[in-house]
Amino acid sequence: MLQQDSNDDIEDVSLFDAEEETTSRPKKSKIRHPVASFFHLFFRVSAIIVYLLCELFSSSFIACMVTIILLLSCDFWAVKNVTGRLMVGLRWWNHIDEDGKSHWVFESRKASPQDSKTVSEAESRIFWLGLIACPVLWVVFAFSALFSLRVKWLAVVIMGVVLQGANLYGYIRCKVGSRKNLTSMATSYLGKQFLRQVSVFWM
């Protein structure tokens, strides 16, 4: 399906024909991609732990900030390009065509009679729990830093909100891409601007 607005083209397409071979595998509650599941949580949880505890172990704000931003950047790349595809069969990305026009693409595996067999329930729960819970924590940290006047930490916390919020928005669009009418045009526009700035800065 191809959806257009005044600024971007947005496509909802099927994810890699090669992935279709996974439909023959039975759906199980066990974790089928343990390494992907581990790193889906490792970087984002590590960033939160470092943020909460770094002042206890180091007096250097710069060292703490760099460590947190590196963890957040690794998490952004891993979740956007690897864990979403393996764990839930979703991926979002952006490309520029020959005319210089930006295209946002939200990918998911094709629906099929065997579709319910392609994703592990355990992995799906891990993926969405980590994807939703961590950005919520960063929002809490942002308000905490603001109200406690920890100005130097505010930029770090905002980086956490932006990077993890971008992945959350992108995967929600993948999940409900064909039901875009549930989202207002204003929200869609702001979301695309948000993703554009993050992708240009970090990719």
Cα–Cα dist 52/10, whole Å: 38
Enter the pTM of the model: 0.70
Bigger pLDDT: 84 or 27? 84
CB 145 within 8 A of CB 61: no
Q: What is the pLDDT of residue 184?
A: 47
Bigger pLDDT: 112 or 151? 151
Each residue of 62-84: pLDDT tens digit? 999 999 999 999 999 999 999 99
Q: What is the pLDDT of residue 43?
A: 95
Model confidence at 165, in pLDDT bands (50, 70, 90)?
very high
Model confidence at 5, in pLDDT bands (50, 70, 90)?
very low
Helix-, strand-, coil-residue percentages of the chain, each rounded to 5: 70, 10, 20
Write a three-state SS string for 102-142: EEEEEEECCCCCCHHHCCCHHHHHHHHHHHHHHHHHHHHHH
Q: Is the pLDDT reported for residue 45 higher than 90? A: yes
Q: Is the pLDDT reported for residue 186 higher than 50? A: no
